[in-house]
């Protein structure tokens, strides 16, 4: 009567998360997730943007320059939120995954399911923020619509990293270290200004950050400046996400085998 | 062929050199209730996790339903029901949702689970709590819900790790009653406990575990007959006088920190002798021998040590 | 009150190193990324000074304000809720007023240490014309944090669910943090919003810190800001005495 669920039951893990959130429609979720980036867009994009005018070298209004970066970081944050603290709580305190262990859901299925869910959450955020960009009149090219799938790649990469971090965490305080990495990355990975403001060696450091590539990809598409460089950015995210996923899978396998 | 066959089964954990399970062998037949009785750290949960196909044996052989749990873990888990020592319920879901979502994990359909969850809620006497969040349930209700949850897939074997620890006597009896019904409906029960009365009530056959090994195996009656007498006289003396009294009394006497246990087929006769010898115990009680006495005999320690 | 303060200091022993690192790292990151980085794109001066000089005192005030909310909001709610620190304290001869006072002193100390770290980082950026300026800005920033902290504490002690604190943080604190003349001048805002910001504490704190730092302070405005923030602090303490008593002597 009961068949073994396919894909290690990954879709069932997603279904469970949808179930928990069933009180909120995708729109209220999106509203919550885009609220903070909208504030930043208004304060920095519009407010400080008025002092900047057009961004030198890129030659677009400042707000249009910042918006795609905020789209990428918003989608990244959605994926991270779902995979770090939320997952850690279910892992360490609710012992949710241990209760799954005795079902036909596999450990790989759990990891894949949580990652899929994180990407879904990011999709909701991305669609919401894309609407904001359009309403604010910040869309410079029809290709801006592709910034959302690009953001899914970002969400995949950071979601995988988040799942690895959750499995290595030794307590809530461990996530302070995640913050310690994420805040500088958010501030310096060319969210607010082009990479050309940096001296050469800082520039090389910044270009090694995954968020830099996420932002390049998002901004390139949103501003309609498509070139082969974007493929490189995408490839970076795929490789980074793939490595992180492998790390997460192996760490989860050890953790759950104990 | 037996449902479960284990021989030389071992479990060690990486990073420690304790052997949680140090080579045990046993068989469980279809339809019986099989118990693991032992104190804290005996290796009961470690054994149960191997039986649940979530922990790889470090040595020996184990076959469940004729299959190898390492290579066929997933298929086997679909046929097992597991009640872990900690409930591990989904705190973000309601009582009913816990059952439904858990059923989905087994590949059961939503439609099926809607009907099945109603039955299970009835079985666990939780129908009136169906819409409540698990966080708001009492310990006993959570335990019943965990047992109900383990039944979503109509398991052939139900593994229960300390099903009644932490419950009040009434809640315990309700649970025993539910487990008894399951057994009568043909489910094979495997449970661990540190309660003697529970083992005597529920188990057709049991093993006594201590320090990762099986000390003995049999029906509760067999174990009692084999290791202890029919009756036990419990005597309490003022501190310091116990050993002296035991020496005087002679015979089959166990000296515990707080009391003496005198094994005899006729407890009243021993009590008479106590009076004859002029010993004046603070209290004296004749009772039937229990598994606790068996355990004491086999390990030299009481369960509460 | 000193005994209640002693409790918090005793706890702080174990974590203070970590909080100092954060207190220094945060201003450093923001001054570098926003002040210097984004500032490099800003054409010309803002209110007569380069963007970094304009931004730094505003950010100082905003950080003091935000940290004070986190300490007074989440700190007080946790002490009353999950940790039951207050309940334990009032079971001793301590009064609710002393319990509140001790915790507020501790929050004030933390705000001060944070402001000090920020001021030192600003000094390292060469943003003060004299040591005297820096010394004037330090108490101003502390007041910017402490004033709303008393009000927040008075409210937070009555709060039992954390999500509500999060809601207030998102919908009240964040907008104030970003729009009170911290990142850009309130004069850029539409008139209605501008008047709203003038009525809210962070604008007073930011303007106080900025005018002192840039040497543009006038006695009249300085008095107004200090009076506003001082009145807020006193009001918070008065209300807090009532709410702490009500919650702790149930
Ligand atoms: N995950 C683990 N890692 C390391 N050691 C473990 C682990 N789980 C159990 N042990 C050790 O294995 C031994 C047996 O533990 P186990 O949990 O199987 O005992 P138990 O009989 O279930 O005890 P209890 O009655 O307390 O539940 C103990 O010494 C324990 O410390
Ligand atoms: Mg156990």
Instruction: Please give all residues whose CB falls under 5 A of ion ligand 2, grouped by chain where several chains appear.
Output: B 44-45, 85
* Pocket flag, ligand 1, residue A257 (CB < 6 Å): no
Pair type for strands B205-210 and B33-37:
parallel
Number of other CB atoms surrounding residue A257 within 10 Å: 12
Distance CA B79, CA C66 (A): 55
Mutational test site, ligand 1, from B10, B13, B16, B20, max ligand atoms within 8 Å of CB: B20
CA distances from B74 to A3, A30, C195 (A): 11, 37, 65
* Pocket flag, ligand 1, residue B105 (CB < 6 Å): no
Cβ within 8 Å, pair C43-A43: no
Q: Are C168 and C73 in contact (CB under 8 A)?
A: yes
- Measured between beta carbons, the chain A residues lying within 8 angstroms of C29 are 183-184, 187-188
- Backbone phi and psi for residue B7, each to the nearest 5 degrees, phi listed first: -145, 135
Q: Is C235 exposed, middle or buried (0-12, 13-18, 19+ CB in 10 A)?
A: middle
> Atom 25 in ligand 1: which residue has the minimum CA distance?
B40
pLDDT of residue B47: 95
pLDDT of residue B257: 80
Q: Are C226 and C146 in contact (CB under 8 A)?
A: no
Q: Would you put residue A57 in left (φ > 0), alpha (ψ -120 to 50) or beta?
A: left
What is the DSSP secondary structure assignment for residue C42, as one 8-state letter? S
pLDDT tens digits, C179-235: 999 999 999 999 999 999 999 999 999 999 999 999 999 999 999 999 999 999 999
Distance CA C85, CA C10 (A): 13
- Measured between beta carbons, the chain A residues lying within 8 angstroms of B54 are 101-102, 256
Per-residue confidence band for A163, with pLDDT thresholds at 50, 70 and 90: very high
pLDDT of residue B92: 82
Cβ within 8 Å, pair A187-C34: yes
pLDDT of residue B172: 87
Please tell me the distance between residue B41's alpha carbon and the centre of ligand 1 in angstroms.
5
Distance CA B217, CA B206 (A): 6
C178 touching A (Cβ < 8 Å): yes
* Tens digit of pLDDT at every position of chain B (305 positions): 789 999 999 999 888 888 999 999 999 999 999 999 988 889 999 999 999 998 889 999 999 999 999 999 888 989 999 999 888 888 888 999 999 989 988 888 889 999 999 999 998 899 999 999 888 888 889 999 999 999 999 999 999 999 988 778 888 888 899 899 999 999 999 999 888 888 888 999 999 999 999 999 999 889 988 888 888 999 998 877 888 888 888 878 888 888 888 888 888 888 888 888 888 888 889 988 888 888 888 877 654 44
pLDDT tens digits, A211-244: 999 999 999 999 999 999 999 999 999 999 999 9
pLDDT of residue A25: 75
Distance CA C126, CA A130 (A): 41
Residue A138 scores a pLDDT above 90: yes
Q: Which atom of ligand 1 is nearest to the CA of B11?
A: 12
The count of structural domains within chain C is 1
Cβ within 8 Å, pair A101-B54: yes
Cβ within 8 Å, pair B105-A258: no
**Pick from C199, C2, C209, C12: nearest CA to C104:** C2
Residue of A nearest to C54 (CA): A48
Q: Are C149 and C72 in contact (CB under 8 A)?
A: yes
- Measured between beta carbons, the chain A residues lying within 8 angstroms of B134 are none
* Pocket flag, ligand 1, residue B86 (CB < 6 Å): no
Q: Which atom of ligand 1 is nearest to the CA of B46?
A: 18
Domain boundaries, chain B: 4-219, 229-288
Q: Is A235 exposed, middle or buried (0-12, 13-18, 19+ CB in 10 A)?
A: exposed
How much is the average pLDDT of A89-117? 92
Domain boundaries, chain A: 7-257
pLDDT of residue B305: 44
Distance CA A192, CA A194 (A): 7
Return the percentage of chain C with pLDDT > 90, whole number.
72
* Pocket flag, ligand 1, residue B16 (CB < 6 Å): yes
Distance from CA of B68 to the nearest CA of A (A): 15
pLDDT of residue C163: 85
Cβ within 8 Å, pair C41-A62: yes
pLDDT tens digits, A54-93: 888 888 999 999 999 999 999 999 999 999 989 999 999 8
> Atom 26 in ligand 1: which residue has the minimum CA distance?
B40
Q: Is C93 helix (H, G, I), strand (E, B) or coil?
A: coil
* Pocket flag, ligand 1, residue B166 (CB < 6 Å): no
Q: Is B224 exposed, middle or buried (0-12, 13-18, 19+ CB in 10 A)?
A: buried
Cβ within 8 Å, pair A19-B88: no
Chain mean position to CA B200: 10
Cβ within 8 Å, pair C46-A50: no
Instruction: Tell me which of 3.40.30.10, 2.40.170.20, 3.40.50.300, 3.30.390.50 is the CATH number of domain B4-219.
Output: 3.40.50.300
C37 touching A (Cβ < 8 Å): yes
Considering chain C, what is the average pLDDT of its residues? 91
Q: Do domains B4-219 and B229-288 have the same CATH topology?
A: no
Interface pTM, i.e. ipTM = 0.89
pLDDT of residue C190: 93
- Measured between beta carbons, the chain A residues lying within 8 angstroms of C184 are 43, 47-48, 50-51
Please tell me the distance between residue C246's alpha carbon and the centre of ligand 1 in angstroms.
47
Please tell me the distance between residue B298's alpha carbon and the centre of ligand 2 in angstroms.
20
Residue of A nearest to B108 (CA): A2
Please tell me the distance between residue A51's alpha carbon and the centre of ligand 2 in angstroms.
66
C14 touching A (Cβ < 8 Å): no
Cβ within 8 Å, pair A52-C41: yes
How much is the average pLDDT of A179-196? 92
Per-residue confidence band for C84, with pLDDT thresholds at 50, 70 and 90: confident
Cβ within 8 Å, pair A193-C175: no
Return the percentage of chain A with pLDDT > 90, whole number.
72
Q: Do chains A and B touch (3 or more CB pairs under 8 A)?
A: yes
Give the structural domain span for C155: 2-248
Test the B interface: residue of A2, A6, A105 with most B CBs within 10 Å? A2
pLDDT of residue A23: 64
Please tell me the distance between residue B215's alpha carbon and the centre of ligand 1 in angstroms.
18
Q: Which atom of ligand 1 is nearest to the CA of B38?
A: 21
Least confident of A12-21, B42-51, C80-89, C143-152: C80-89
Per-residue confidence band for A2, with pLDDT thresholds at 50, 70 and 90: low
CATH topology assigned to domain B229-288: Alpha-Beta Plaits (3.30.70)
Which residues lie closer than 8 Å to B12 by C-beta, 6 or more apart? Answer: B18, B19, B20, B58
- Measured between beta carbons, the chain A residues lying within 8 angstroms of C42 are 48, 51-52
Least confident of A101-105, A149-153, B228-232, C10-14: C10-14
Distance from CA of C178 to the nearest CA of A (A): 6
Mutational test site, ligand 1, from B41, B58, B192, B295, max ligand atoms within 8 Å of CB: B41
């Amino acid at each position: 009567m009961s068949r073994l669920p396919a894909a290690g039951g990954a879709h069932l893990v997603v279904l469970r998360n949808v179930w928990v959130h069933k009180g909120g429609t995708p729109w209220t979720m999106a509203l919550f997730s885009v609220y903070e980036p909208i504030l930043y867009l208004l304060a920095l994009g519009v407010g400080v943007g008025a002092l900047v005018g057009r961004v030198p070298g890129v030659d677009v209004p400042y707000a249009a320059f910042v918006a795609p970066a905020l789209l990428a970081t918003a989608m990244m944050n959605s994926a991270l939120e779902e995979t770090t603290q939320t997952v850690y709580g279910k892992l360490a305190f609710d012992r949710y995954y241990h209760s799954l262990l005795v079902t036909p859901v596999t450990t790989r299925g759990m990891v894949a399911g949580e990652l899929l869910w994180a990407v879904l959450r990011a999709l909701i955020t991305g669609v919401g923020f894309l609407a904001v960009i359009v309403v604010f009149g910040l869309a410079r090219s029809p290709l801006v619509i592709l910034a959302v799938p690009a953001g899914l790649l970002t969400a995949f990469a950071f979601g995988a990293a988040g799942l690895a971090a959750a499995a290595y965490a030794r307590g809530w305080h461990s996530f302070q270290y995640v913050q310690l990495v994420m805040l500088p990355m958010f501030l310096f990975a060319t969210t607010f200004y082009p990479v050309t403001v940096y001296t050469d060696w800082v520039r090389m450091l910044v270009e090694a950050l995954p968020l830099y590539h996420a932002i390049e990809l998002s901004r390139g598409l949103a501003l309609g400046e498509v070139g082969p460089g974007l493929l490189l950015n995408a490839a970076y995210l795929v490789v980074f996400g793939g490595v992180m996923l492998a790390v997460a899978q192996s760490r989860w396998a050890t953790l759950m085998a104990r | 062929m037996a449902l479960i066959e284990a021989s030389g089964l071992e479990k060690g954990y990486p990073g420690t050199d304790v052997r949680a399970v140090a080579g045990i062998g046993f068989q469980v037949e279809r339809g019986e209730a099989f118990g693991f009785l032992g104190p804290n750290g005996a290796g009961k949960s470690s054994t149960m996790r191997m039986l649940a196909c979530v922990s790889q044996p470090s040595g020996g052989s184990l076959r469940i339903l004729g299959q190898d749990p390492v290579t066929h873990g997933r298929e086997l888990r679909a046929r097992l029901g597991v009640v872990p020592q900690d409930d591990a319920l989904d705190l973000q879901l309601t009582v009913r949702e816990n059952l439904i979502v858990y059923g989905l994990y087994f590949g059961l359909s939503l439609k099926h689970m809607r009907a099945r969850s109603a039955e299970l809620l009835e079985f666990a006497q939780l129908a009136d709590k169906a819409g409540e969040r698990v966080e708001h349930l009492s310990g006993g209700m959570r335990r019943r819900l965990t047992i109900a949850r383990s039944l979503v897939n109509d398991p052939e074997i139900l593994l229960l790790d300390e099903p009644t620890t932490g419950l009040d006597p009434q809640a315990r009896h309700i649970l025993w009653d539910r487990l008894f019904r399951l057994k009568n409906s043909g489910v094979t029960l495997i449970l661990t406990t540190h309660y003697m009365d529970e083992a005597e009530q529920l188990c057709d056959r049991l093993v006594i575990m201590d320090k990762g090994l099986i000390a003995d195996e049999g029906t509760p009656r067999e174990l009692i007959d084999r290791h202890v007498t029919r009756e036990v006289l419990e005597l309490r003396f003022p501190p310091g006088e116990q050993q002296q009294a035991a020496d005087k009394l002679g015979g089959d006497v166990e000296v515990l920190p707080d009391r003496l246990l005198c094994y005899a087929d006729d407890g009243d006769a021993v009590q008479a002798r106590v009076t004859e010898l002029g010993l004046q115990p603070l209290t004296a009680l004749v009772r039937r021998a229990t598994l606790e006495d068996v355990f004491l005999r086999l390990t030299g320690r009481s369960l509460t040590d | 009150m000193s005994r209640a303060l002693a409790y918090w200091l005793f706890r702080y022993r174990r974590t203070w190193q970590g909080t100092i690192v954060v207190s220094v790292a945060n201003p450093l990151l923001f001054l570098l990324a926003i002040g210097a980085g984004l500032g490099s794109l800003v054409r010309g001066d803002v209110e007569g000074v380069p963007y970094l000089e304009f931004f730094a005192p505003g950010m100082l005030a905003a950080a003091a304000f935000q940290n004070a909310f986190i300490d007074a909001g989440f700190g007080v709610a946790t002490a009353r809720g999950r940790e039951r620190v207050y309940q334990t304290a009032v079971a001793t001869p301590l009064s609710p007023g002393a319990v509140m006072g001790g915790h507020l002193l501790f929050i004030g100390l933390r705000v001060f240490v944070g402001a000090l770290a920020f001021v030192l980082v600003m000094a390292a950026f060469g943003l003060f014309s004299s040591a005297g300026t820096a010394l004037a800005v330090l108490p101003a920033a502390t007041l910017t944090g402490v004033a709303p902290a008393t009000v927040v504490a008075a409210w937070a002690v009555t709060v039992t669910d954390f999500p509500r604190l999060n809601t207030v943080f998102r919908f009240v604190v964040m907008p104030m943090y970003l729009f009170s003349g911290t990142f850009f001048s309130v004069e850029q805002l539409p008139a209605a919003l501008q008047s709203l910001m003038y009525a809210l504490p962070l604008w007073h704190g930011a303007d106080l810190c900025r005018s002192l730092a840039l040497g543009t302070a006038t006695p009249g405005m300085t008095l107004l800001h200090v009076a506003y923030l001082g009145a807020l602090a006193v009001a918070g303490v008065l209300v807090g005495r009532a709410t702490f008593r009500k919650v702790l002597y149930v």
